[in-house]
Amino acid sequence: MKRFAILGYPLGHTLSPKLHRLLAEQLGEQIEYSICAIPPEELEEHFEELFCLDGFNITIPYKVRLMEQLDQLDTSARNHGAVNVVSIAADGKRCGYNTDCIGFVRTMQSHGVPIAGRVCVLGAGGVGRMFATECALRGCTVTLAVRAASMEAAEQVAAHIRSLDAQAKVEVMDIERLDGSQAYELMINATPVGMYPNVQHSPVDERALRSVKTLFDCIYNPGTTLLMQQAQQAGCQTIGGMEMLVWQAAAAQEIWFRRSFSDRQVAQVAAKM
């Protein structure tokens, strides 16, 4: 039986063990999946036990810190400057990947949404950086919309993207300026605004959604956020975050087991979460 884990701190009521067991069942595999909630000051003491696993997932605050402990980084990890999956080979070689971006792409594909044209990303934190980078490298015109206090961080994300592709089309704007006069094929909420228990909040005013074709909210609790409700009322196609959560985990198991998941299998797992 292969052994995996989720590394992060704090982890609270993480969905990872249930999610990965359900996915493994789809492949006919049995796994042992543990929770490694390790405080930052104790991380180095646990390297040996972590690297004795067959692989592990990584979440906040270790997505960047663990990179220096790995032998190889996949292109996805290098582009996004963060690792959320580690695969450990039989010879002990440690390879890091970023399957958040894969989860995003596969989710859009499953809904028939092209990652093209004008894209607005709300927020410039770690996940916002991933969305903006992935879209820009695919040729989209990307707008990072953030609060005034986050403008500097957003400019750093834009600079990172331009360092990967000097021709990348990316701009930064104050989120308060989103008034519906800007047309976007895709708007992505990469902020925690609207997440449980603060479900009565939305990161933008309703008018900002008037010229948006598809709204993707990466929040998965609740399944339908206030922002998604606003977007539906504005006539937008809406996609919630649970499917991306499942797809990024499925991508990890595709790496670990060298097997593939279908849209149907992922949908079945998402329905059980």
Does residue 80 carry a pLDDT above 90? yes
Confidence (pLDDT) at 13? 84
Cis peptide leading into residue 40 (ω within 30°): no
Per residue in 127-161, pLDDT (tens digit) is 999 999 999 999 999 999 999 999 999 999 999 99
Cis peptide leading into residue 197 (ω within 30°): yes
Q: What percent of the chain has pLDDT over 70?
A: 100
9 neighbors 38 (Cβ within 8 angstroms):
yes
209 neighbors 230 (Cβ within 8 angstroms):
yes
Gap between the Cα atoms of 135 and 132, Å rounded? 5
Model-level pTM? 0.94
Judge whether 63 counts as a catalytic residue.
yes
Average pLDDT, the chain: 97
Which of 18, 63, 93, 272 is catalytic? The answer is 63
Per residue in 15-54, pLDDT (tens digit) is 999 999 999 999 999 999 999 999 999 999 999 999 999 9
Q: How confident is the model at residue 173 (pLDDT cuts 50, 70, 90)?
A: very high
Confidence (pLDDT) at 12? 87
Per residue in 82-117, pLDDT (tens digit) is 999 999 999 999 999 999 999 999 999 999 999 999
Per residue in 228-256, pLDDT (tens digit) is 999 999 999 999 999 999 999 999 999 99
Domains and CATH numbers, the chain: 2-97+243-271 (3.40.50.10860), 102-239 (3.40.50.720)
